[in-house]
Chains A and B, each alone.
Chain A
Amino acid sequence: MSVSRRRVRAIFRKELREYRRNRTIVTGMAILPVLFLIQPLVAVLSLGASASGGLAHEHELLYLLAIPALVSGTLASYSVVGERQQGTLEPVLGTPIRREEFLLGKALASFVPSVAISYAVYAFFLALVEIFARPGVASALLRGSDLLAQLVFTPLLAGWSIWVGIAISTRSSEIRVAQQLGVLANLPSVVVTSLIAFNVIHATLVVALGGAVVLLVLNRLGWRITSAMFDRERLITGTR
């Protein structure tokens, strides 16, 4: 089976155009990162210089990994059921597009903005910490290993959330239900990253590598399972 890049790109572009003009989606994409930015920012900026020693055992930055998990999950859970409710799914599926092309286009359209937003929020957070936090706090917080973990785990978490979101979206008949289920399904990822951030789970190289491998496997499984769940007939007729 060959995947047509042009068809994937057509879906991707169309989705991005729709996002830009859909106030609900834009607001959703803006609110979640802000919510997850406030707590660590307030915590870090209120720390005194003496607290920098304690920070050596925490990974405050990793708390922000909830952003790719939730933003991409929310976008992805809208993707298929949104089209279905608009009545646009039938014309699209009536073209020569393969389900893999359709799903890749949808996944990319969730992946690119959520990863871009996540990285932008990290950069913003780091800039604020660097400028406003006490010098000792800033240097204790901005560790190379945490930054690397942030860079690596952001796309991995976003990918996993996207496949979960799309899988939910293909089986839902209402946008709101799909989005709520999407957030719910991605909560475990948020919980795990938060536990690591607050040092409940100790972040070691083995944990990081293990987590990356698990996420890679989950991404692959997610793609396969979502493809298998995508049923044109069910999506068009709502039966079967």
Chain B
Amino acid sequence: MIYLIRWLIGKLRRRATSPAEPLGAVPGRDEPAVHARGERFVTRRKAAASDANRDAPALSALGLGKRFGDRVAFDDVSFEIGHGEVFGFLGPNGAGKTTTVRTLGTLIAPTSGSATVAGIPLTPDNGVEIRRRISIMPESPGLYLRLSVAENLGCFADLYEAADPGDRVDRALRAVNLADRASDACGSLSKGLRQRVALARALLSDPQVLFLDEPTSGLDPVATRDVHELIAELRRSGVTIFLTTHRLEEAERLCDRVAILNTTLRTIGRPAELRDRLFAKTLTVRTLIPLPEPGRVFADLPAVDGWRQDGARDYVVAVSDPSLAAPAVTRALVQAGADVLSIGESHHSLEDVYLELVNEDEEARRR
């Protein structure tokens, strides 16, 4: 009660002495940076930040962990993410992805390890300062359904103390192609459109680090493509993006690096590196009729590390350098009188990597 009266008196005094709004003076914060698609998102603040902290990671974690009583949500997670990097965070349901995002977003406190977010150590005292520099788009849009799209975003623009909130809201809506739905009640929007409003909300704060938890969940292919384009645009403008997703092709397409979490961090690296790390390079050979003695064809070739038959007329040949081995294998096959239908390098997707690691974990658990 006393605080309410004080607040009201303070408000009246402030009105009487200064009509100008003195709020929102966030140190180092410059002009808003949410632009319509196709415009640049670069701000002076970001440029200055990237000049000053070019070598410092935008996001780092060292042995980070979170327990809820006896239950381990995630444990011993370590990584560093550079400025402007799109970092994919993958893992099965219950792996601890969302808890990690919430921990880095200062919504919950870690129980072990340390981290820096947007260059600021993750401590209870730094919560407000960290949240000024980041934005989180949770898996569920979490919109006020009785309020219009513009009212939802306007509220959040004020919570971020954005300069010129009306303009900021307009640009965020244009960025997600929702300018024409500004006055619609959020409750009247489809799931996909709500997701886009949530994305617009995440852009309001001009974040240095943007956490996107399943941003394309429930979106149609066109809207998904739009979100992908927006992520690419944000990346070009120097925003660091921490993307959790179940869509592995999305991670492969958008992310510079990915990490696979299954309570502990199973692997981290560029998608191509992970494939190389997990799977031997192979050539797949198909012939018209089965080779009578495939061992004699493949075994003596110096470029070949091993081989196996995969079906009646298919052979998988392990090699260390496919570009050198392919001509040698082709020559050997022709010399052996084989009718070669096809020969090519085997490709493993990120999905193969993911499934391999997750299956390993499941098998280990069963044992």
Instruction: Give which listed residue, A87, A93, A104, A240, contacts B68 with CB less than 8 A.
Output: A240
Kindly provide the distance from the CB of B84 to the nearest chain A CB, expressed in whole angstroms: 22
Quick one: closest A residue to B107, CB to CB?
A236
A104 B1 Cβ-Cβ under 8 A: no
The A1-23 residues at the B interface (CB cut-off 8 A) are 3-11, 13-14, 17-18, 21-22
Kindly supply a per-residue 1/0 record for chain B positions 65-94, scoring 1 wherever the CB is within 8 Å of any chain A CB and 0 otherwise.
Answer: 000110000000000000000000000000
Say if the beta carbon of B253 comes within 8 Å of chain A. Answer: no
B1 A91 Cβ-Cβ under 8 A: no
Instruction: Give which listed residue, A21, A95, A215, contacts B146 with CB less than 8 A.
Output: A21
Say if the beta carbon of A27 comes within 8 Å of chain B. Answer: no
Say if the beta carbon of A165 comes within 8 Å of chain B. Answer: no
B2 A17 Cβ-Cβ under 8 A: no
Say if the beta carbon of B366 comes within 8 Å of chain A. Answer: no
A5 B23 Cβ-Cβ under 8 A: yes
Contact residues on B (Cβ < 8 Å of other chain), bracket: 35 or more
Bound-state Cα–Cα, A111 to B131, Å:
29
**With a CB–CB cut-off of 8 A, which chain A residues contact B198?**
91
**With a CB–CB cut-off of 8 A, which chain B residues contact A237?**
68, 99, 102, 108
B1 A94 Cβ-Cβ under 8 A: no
B143 A88 Cβ-Cβ under 8 A: yes
Say if the beta carbon of B96 comes within 8 Å of chain A. Answer: no
B108 A96 Cβ-Cβ under 8 A: no
**With a CB–CB cut-off of 8 A, which chain A residues contact B336?**
none
A91 B201 Cβ-Cβ under 8 A: yes
Say if the beta carbon of B351 comes within 8 Å of chain A. Answer: no
Bound-state Cα–Cα, A158 to B143, Å:
29
B160 A104 Cβ-Cβ under 8 A: no
Bound-state Cα–Cα, A237 to B21, Å:
36
A-B contacts at CB below 8 angstroms, number: 125
Kindly provide the distance from the CB of B124 to the nearest chain A CB, expressed in whole angstroms: 10
Kindly provide the distance from the CB of A181 to the nearest chain B CB, expressed in whole angstroms: 21
Residues of A within 8 Å of B, CB-based: how many? 48
Quick one: closest A residue to B7, CB to CB?
A104
A223 B158 Cβ-Cβ under 8 A: no
A232 B136 Cβ-Cβ under 8 A: no
From DSSP, what is the main secondary structure of chain A's interface residues?
helix
Say if the beta carbon of B367 comes within 8 Å of chain A. Answer: no
Bound-state Cα–Cα, A93 to B106, Å:
9
Bound-state Cα–Cα, A111 to B129, Å:
30
Q: Given known contacts A7-B158, A95-B131, is B142 in contact with A88 (CB within 8 Å)? A: yes
Kindly provide the distance from the CB of A196 to the nearest chain B CB, expressed in whole angstroms: 19
Quick one: closest B residue to A92, CB to CB?
B159
A96 B2 Cβ-Cβ under 8 A: no
Kindly supply a per-residue 1/0 record for chain B positions 137-180, scoring 1 wherever the CB is within 8 Å of any chain A CB and 0 otherwise.
Answer: 01011111111000100011011110000000000000000000
Q: Given known contacts A6-B23, A6-B24, A7-B161, is B145 in contact with A86 (CB within 8 Å)? A: yes
Say if the beta carbon of B132 comes within 8 Å of chain A. Answer: yes
Say if the beta carbon of A146 comes within 8 Å of chain B. Answer: no
**With a CB–CB cut-off of 8 A, which chain B residues contact A155?**
1, 4-5
A91 B3 Cβ-Cβ under 8 A: no
A91 B138 Cβ-Cβ under 8 A: yes
Kindly supply a per-residue 1/0 record for chain A positions 61-105, scoring 1 wherever the CB is within 8 Å of any chain B CB and 0 otherwise.
Answer: 000000000000000000000000011111111111110000010
**With a CB–CB cut-off of 8 A, which chain A residues contact B105?**
94
A94 B107 Cβ-Cβ under 8 A: yes
Listed by A's residue number, 29 A-B pairs whose Cβ atoms lie within 8 Å are A5-B7, A6-B21, A7-B158, A10-B155, A14-B151, A14-B155, A17-B144, A17-B147, A18-B144, A86-B145, A90-B102, A91-B138, A91-B156, A93-B107, A96-B128, A96-B160, A104-B3, A155-B4, A155-B5, A158-B1, A159-B4, A216-B2, A219-B1, A220-B2, A232-B108, A233-B108, A237-B68, A237-B99, A240-B68
Seen from chain B, the residues whose Cβ lies within 8 Å of a Cβ on chain A are: 1-5, 7, 10-11, 14, 21, 23-24, 68-69, 99, 102, 105, 107-109, 128-129, 131-132, 135-136, 138, 140-147, 151, 155-156, 158-161, 198, 201, 205
Sample of 12 further A-B pairs with CB below 8 A, known A90-B140, A96-B128, A239-B69: A6-B23, A9-B158, A11-B155, A88-B143, A90-B102, A91-B138, A91-B198, A94-B105, A95-B156, A95-B160, A108-B4, A220-B1
